[in-house]
Amino acid sequence: MRRPALPDPCPEWLSSLDDAALHRALLERVEAACQLCHDYHPGLPRPKVWFDLRGKCAGQAHYGRGGLRFNPVLYRENRHAFLRDVVPHEMAHWLVRHLSDGHKARPHGREWRTVMERLFGLEAKVTHTFDTGRASPTPHRYRCGCQVHYFTARRHSLARKGRRYCCLSCAETLVYQPFVEHGKVTTNA
């Protein structure tokens, strides 16, 4: 594998940035990645950028909205790795999609891996290893025969509407358990 095509961001500098400067740093990184892609595909449209992604996903190439979405919580907590890996990962999706047969390519298929390795000079990793605890809160508690499970608001809503979820370990149906606070039941529905 060759050297990364984009300069490695300085971790000390990144740690000193406030939210506004961090936002600008990501926009500059997207622009640098876009310039690199333009050298290969001059007709590539510039993606818009949003910081509205939530949950466990770090980034997303959103073709319907015409740009890239990033998770601000995961970015704030993983600044260096985010700029080094996530931005090129999403720009690789953006580039592949805009190639002549890009709409037929698998999301992390051969074309995407080629862009990651040959254009960006990075290992083609599909997933990140960030701690998603604060980015993906799971406040709704469910129980089965062997353990407690925590649901996101979306999954909890689906369960309340009738969708059944079973434990992968004991195969029992998960049952909602409201939180108990100082002797009284408080629901988080």
Q: Which residues are catalytic?
A: 90
Question: Could you give the CA distance from residue 165 to residue 158 in angstroms, rounded to a whole number?
Answer: 10
Beta strand 67-70 with 48-50 is: parallel
User: Count of CB atoms within 10 A of residue 93's CB?
Assistant: 25
Q: Which residues make Cβ contacts (< 8 Å) with residue 160, sequence separation at least 6?
A: 176, 189
**Buried-exposed string 99-137: b where 16+ CB fall within 10 A, e elsewhere:** eeebeeeeebeebbbebbeebbebebeeebebebeebbe
